[in-house]
Amino acid sequence: MCMICFRTHMHSHAHTRTYTHTLFLSSAYTFFQKEIYAHNNKLVSLRDISVLEHEMSSLQRRIFEVSSQKQNMKTEYLHKIQNYMEDIFHVVSSCASYREEVTRLVPYTIHHTLYTIYHIPYTIHYKQQAGRLEGGVCGGTR
Q: How many Cβ atoms are within 10 Å of 126's Cβ, its own excluded?
A: 20
pTM over 0.75: no
Main-chain dihedrals φ then ψ at residue 123, nearest 5 degrees: -125, 150
pLDDT at 15 over 50: no
Quick one: which of 54, 115, 118 has its CA closest to 87? 54
User: What is the band of 135 on the pLDDT scale with cuts at 50, 70, 90?
Assistant: very low
Rounded mean pLDDT of 30-46?
A: 49
Least confident residue range of 53-67, 76-90, 103-117: 103-117
pLDDT at 24 over 60: no
User: What is the band of 93 on the pLDDT scale with cuts at 50, 70, 90?
Assistant: low
pLDDT at 72 over 60: no
Quick one: which of 101, 126, 103, 121 has its CA closest to 111? 121
Main-chain dihedrals φ then ψ at residue 131, nearest 5 degrees: 80, 5
Share of the chain above pLDDT 70, in %: 0
pLDDT at 73 over 50: yes
Distance separating alpha carbons of residues 77 and 36, to the nearest angstrom: 27
So what's the pLDDT on residue 121? Answer: 44
CA 16 distance to own-chain centroid: 21
So what's the pLDDT on residue 131? Answer: 46
Main-chain dihedrals φ then ψ at residue 124, nearest 5 degrees: -110, 130
The pLDDT mean for the chain works out to 50
Distance separating alpha carbons of residues 93 and 40, to the nearest angstrom: 17
Task: Please name the helix (run of DSSP H) or strand (run of DSSP E) that holds residue 122, with its range, or none.
Answer: strand 122-129
